[in-house]
Copies of this chain bind each other. A is one copy, B any other.
């Protein structure tokens, strides 16, 4: 499969960060893929603690770590000098080094030379693989759910991860598919969809969720939103290439305008549903909205239940905060949509949950 692929298990590198806010990638990995995280390495005694065993590079290598994953963003953008001895040590013992946002590894001469000499990869998850084709539009076997949004940064990745986990817990076959940098770190593979040349965005989305068993679900991390003045092209391309059977709209309660584009009012959830159905039907006429995921962190605790039940009443769809629970009604819908193991579709399974 022509996507980025990482080599687990990992040593999570935390630099000299003291606040988890700046170690989101590391924290995401520790939360969602703890079984792949052998340990953490901070350069300072007061560094962020993800709850993983503290390890040196040598200890991690001895324990079997195959990659050092940079779990934090550097402020300036490049690779800080203070990080270099650790990264070079990792390379020297044969570990791959993986970077997400704000750190370009291959352009660092010393690191690049060391990696080349040691024969190990430097993996920049922002760089798409080569050879991505134009989308064919052809329907692929298997089921797909895409998270879409009313804006950027409303919980599309988190929602996809939470739904994927909940689906597996009730016995559905599900796989999280990552379309962004942190998601790719967590999934161990994926496609940095916003970095793909426009002609090939939908083709990249097709590669990201290839044909699979009829009852298998890909739960695909969405990007941007269809009404975004800057990023709608990304959202459009990802939607058409994903060919989702189901989608979940992600929204932040209380947000009224596109974040960073304050002249642009947010579309309502039902407007986003209508636009997503209209566009998504081009490659999958059966597309339907199955729920709404709400980041309720701006609401007082006492307001949350009322907000969600009002929204649920208005839309006639399960509405939930993914930090709390993925509702069984959503899982029942997805189970009902899942073809039976025989390969036949079966609404009949609905009551088996």
Q: Which residues of A contact B (CB under 8 A)?
A: 134-138, 193-199, 201-203, 226-227, 229-234, 236-237, 240, 261, 263-264, 275, 278-279, 282-283
Cα–Cα distance between A193 and B233 once the two chains are bound (Å): 12
Query: Can you give 27 A-B contacts (C-beta < 8 A)?
Result: A134-B230, A134-B231, A135-B229, A135-B230, A136-B230, A137-B229, A137-B261, A137-B264, A193-B198, A195-B199, A196-B197, A196-B198, A197-B197, A197-B198, A198-B198, A198-B201, A198-B233, A199-B234, A202-B230, A203-B230, A227-B282, A229-B282, A232-B236, A232-B282, A233-B236, A275-B278, A278-B278
Collect the chain B residues with CB atoms within 8 Å of residue A137's CB.
229-230, 261, 263-264
- A-B pairs, 10 with minimum CB distance: A137-B229, A233-B237, A236-B236, A194-B199, A135-B230, A201-B233, A134-B230, A233-B233, A198-B234, A198-B201
A197: chain B residues within 8 A (beta carbon):
194-198
Instruction: Note all chain B residues with C-beta closer than 8 A to A193.
Output: 198
Chain B residues with CB under 8 Å of A275's CB are: 278
Residues of B contacting A227 with CB < 8 Å? 282
Distance from A226 Cβ to chain B, minimum over Cβ atoms (Å): 8
- A123 → B minimal CB distance (Å): 19
Which residues from chain B contact A199 at a C-beta distance below 8 Å? Answer: 194-195, 230-231, 234
A275 to B232, CA, bound (A): 14
Kindly report which residue of chain B lies nearest to residue A282, judged by CB atoms. B227
Question: Shortest CB–CB separation between residue A216 and chain B, in angstroms?
Answer: 22
